[in-house]
Chain A
Amino acid sequence: MSGCNCSGSCSSGSCSSGSCSGGSCSSGSYDNTLPPGMLAAYNLDQETADGILVYIETDGKALHPAVKGILGKAKEISSGRVFGIMFAGVSGKMLYDEIFSYGVDTLYHMRNSAVKEFQPPTFADAMADVSHRIGPASILFAATPQGRELAPLVAARLGAGLTADCTELEAEGRKLIMRRPALGGNILATIECDTFPQMATVRPGTFPDPIPEIGRKGTSFSRPYKATMEKRIVSKDTVDDDDDIGNARILISLGNGIRNRSTVDLAHRIAKKLGASVSCTRALVDKGWMPYSAQVGQSGRTVSPDLYIAFGISGSVQHMAGLRAERIVSVNKDRNAPINAVADKVIVGDADSILRSMLESLEE
């Protein structure tokens, strides 16, 4: 996996002239991958593969919340050791105790002071290398944007089967039995791999956080890795965390039944007064009324609030796929909107004017 670090040198001008067009620029790396399915260097010993390796996603300071539950589950079902792999700087050492307390036996702390950001192919190369060394029976990732990008890169390097977005995991000895919902949660598919390692990404929030075993010890290896393929970052922007719909307990959610753009502002003002966040369906993102980060559904975020108030949301299969609320209240003109079938309470009425009245009474 070398020869593809084009950063900076590959201008689009030279690309069109052909010097960097697929065949030539990256021909060096094809030797590693051809013929397909024959990634011999990484083939794991099928007889001895054991234990579970978990990708520990961090922001450099803390574990991603979705990782904890996966570590707990890995501890519960692993027939062998639980391995963790974490890419972090020196400060990563602060996390060791916490990681061990969730059941990790062996932690690979991957270090390269030159790599500052999440670099998928580089991380994947390093992870494939570690996997080859330890030979796990299974490898798990949280199905976060990072995990969903990294897992397939590792799977292709290992020639391994990968199941996306699992909501149930079971083990029969070394064998991993994976379940994932499909078609908007209306069916549940049970999937098995036919080689080791068996790989899966796990939908965030699927497994409860384990009770940490304070003082539990493990082994840590600090391991350098090579930067193989990097992307050059021009700028970075973080959306305000206050509005993170993923963690919100109360969501005021807006759908295509909202007729006026001004209603979106009303909803934000109401949310502020009620300590809620505002989410939406894809329709409103497409209209440019709401940012993508507020979109609930198959192509957006999965949310699990205590209360989800759906204003003018019909409840398409795609939207419902991202919704796992304790209680759903639907405000809709259409008594027969699909969302009403799963709602606890339905108010048959006009979403725009009801939101307006809500703000009026809150401001009184």
Chain B
Amino acid sequence: MIDFVPDPNSPYLIDECKIRGNAERVVIPDDESELSSVVKEANRTGTNITISGLRTGLCGGSVPLGGILVSMERFSSMIGIGKDGEGYFLRVQPCVTIDEIVRSVQLKRIEGFSDITPNACSEFRSDKRKFFYPVDPTEMRGSIGGNISANASGARTFKYGPTRNWVKSLRVMLADGNIIRIERGEHISNGRHFDVTIDDVHLEFDIPNYDFNRSVKNATGLYCHEDMDLIDLIIGSEGILGIIVEADLRLTEWHPLISNIIFMPDDQSAISLIDDLRHDTIVEPEFIEYFDKGSVDLIRRTCLTDPTILRPPGYECSAVFMDMSMDNDVESRFERLFELVRKNGGDPGRSWTGYDQNDRKRMFAFRHSVPKSIFDYVASLKDGIPAINKMGTDMSVPEEHNLEMMSFYDSILKEHGLEYVIFGHMGNCHPHVEIILKDMEDLTKAKEAYGILAQRAFEFGGSPSAEHGIGKLKRDYIRMVYGTEGISEIRNVKSAFDPNNILNRGNIVE
């Protein structure tokens, strides 16, 4: 176990939201017993413990506010493979990265894995089919523990849902240092009341009275509804109920996909193509992403200095990025797709298509180049490295309000005199509006506009925080969505698990 007093500049005190916290100690336990002793001691003294994985979060969930920062970085083993009636599952420690999971499953690199069920490893290796873990949270270097705690989602959520859908069981260390295994389907609440005993640990509490908005992509607060599964309460709880020490993840059969980036004449035609595609039963898109004209222009600019990024065509365009299955029906899928593209004023010849792993990688790199392009753009305006460069929204709305929300983004941001581009998960009605911050004045204006936008998304029946979570940055939205009542109900759940309030203090609720 490593235990040290961190330097104020230590990387352990910051995550990708760039807010810097503070801690008296950083502890890096080697195993569960060391972790347990740290937790027990903190529980006795009432010291705040902040759990950190690989610190790729965007809302400060792993940024410590005093106390002890426990880095789970040594819980980084892939444990094994099992198989049950629903198929194969992978058992991992929380600090395994998504990239490691994807690779070992794709390449079947499972040397040293244990059999969770008899002969699962050899069966998996010799299985002719290919498998994959279908959640693609964009940031592949993040930890699976962090992904589960935030219920991460991504482009592929359009078809496969968020992380929640792929967690079969969890081992969770509670604030008293005891570990319980929560298996999906074994602990269901009676209405809104839980009364469960797991491994000699007894938990009895009421879940909040609100219904977690499941009609849109949502990562705002604790998940809850009547007759819910205990495991779903832990998933997305941002570490306030317990520490994930092990997870079993479902795998699903892989099938070949073909990716297409379609260049449409303008934003309007791209959005309306997406509307046509969303529920099309012939094309059956696996995800749909949108790039407005401004994002394509920014990428084109960046390509001048970085030719490794696919260069957008020379003509003015917006773009739609979608994946579909490359099976025997691929020709009829394309025929239908061509029809829809033409109907909306596009040209099937103005597109890119790829199915080979590397070509698709390049297409995804194109998608991910938007944030970097914004950075480059702001840097070029300032002739240096900007301290701030953008603020990205993370709001989803129900489909029927998508167009209204889109025009609301336009009118509010224009009203505030802000420059912005829009791209992202339009299939889920969850675009990322990237507000370009050229100076501090922009930041003030953007903060104000952001609040108005989040409020409207909520009024439309959407979520003000659709995938990044709440962490310490977005607690205001908990109040907006669930009110004071909701906050105290969440606190009650937390006290049932963590009576001394030591775990990840400050996440979701103060």
Contact = CB atoms under 8 A, between A and B. Distances in A.
Q: Do chains A and B touch in the complex (CB under 8 A)?
A: yes
A260 B379 contact: yes
B308 A287 contact: yes
B385 A260 contact: yes
Interface string B281-311: 0000000000000000000000001111000
A286 B379 contact: no
A289 to B, nearest CB: 8
A194 to B, nearest CB: 36
A352 interface: yes
A325 interface: no
B8 to A, nearest CB: 15
A287 B307 CA distance: 5
A295 to B, nearest CB: 14
B306 A352 contact: no
A288 B307 CA distance: 7
Interface residues on B, range: under 10
A262 B308 CA distance: 18
Interface in B127-181: 141
Contacts of A286: 307-308
B261 to A, nearest CB: 20
A283 interface: yes
Contacts of B305: 261, 287-289
B11 interface: yes
A287 B306 contact: yes
Interface in A209-241: none
A301 to B, nearest CB: 20
A261 B141 CA distance: 24
A245 B308 CA distance: 24
Nearest to B383: A262
Contacts of B306: 287-288
Interface string A144-183: 0000000000000000000000000000000000000000
Contacts of A90: none
A352 B385 contact: yes
Interface in A264-312: 283, 286-289
A287 B365 CA distance: 14
A287 B385 CA distance: 19
A289 B304 CA distance: 11
Contacts of B308: 283, 286-287
A188 interface: no
Nearest to B372: A259
A348 interface: yes
A336 to B, nearest CB: 9
B383 to A, nearest CB: 9
Nearest to B9: A349
Contacts of B385: 260, 352
Interface in B340-388: 379, 385
A352 B379 CA distance: 14
Contacts of B379: 260
Contacts of A287: 305-308
Interface in A328-364: 334, 348, 352
B11 A348 contact: yes
Contacts of A283: 308
Interface string B305-324: 11110000000000000000
Nearest to A283: B308
B77 to A, nearest CB: 14
Nearest to A349: B11
A111 B385 CA distance: 59
A286 B309 CA distance: 10
Interface string B232-267: 000000000000000000000000000000000000
A288 B379 CA distance: 19
Contacts of B141: 334
A352 B307 CA distance: 20
Interface in A99-144: none
Contacts of A334: 141
A348 B10 CA distance: 11
A352 B306 CA distance: 17
A348 B306 CA distance: 25
Contacts of A260: 379, 385
A287 B372 CA distance: 14
B502 to A, nearest CB: 28
A202 to B, nearest CB: 33
B461 to A, nearest CB: 40
Contacts of A288: 305-307
Interface string B376-405: 000100000100000000000000000000
Nearest to B309: A287
A233 to B, nearest CB: 29
5 contacts: A261-B305, A286-B308, A289-B305, A334-B141, A352-B385
Interface of A: 260-261, 283, 286-289, 334, 348, 352
Interface of B: 11, 141, 305-308, 379, 385
Given A260-B385, A283-B308, A352-B385, 14 more contacts: A260-B379, A261-B305, A286-B307, A286-B308, A287-B305, A287-B306, A287-B307, A287-B308, A288-B305, A288-B306, A288-B307, A289-B305, A334-B141, A348-B11
**Which 7 pairs of residues, A with B, have the shortest CB-CB distance?**
A287-B306, A286-B308, A261-B305, A287-B308, A288-B307, A287-B307, A286-B307
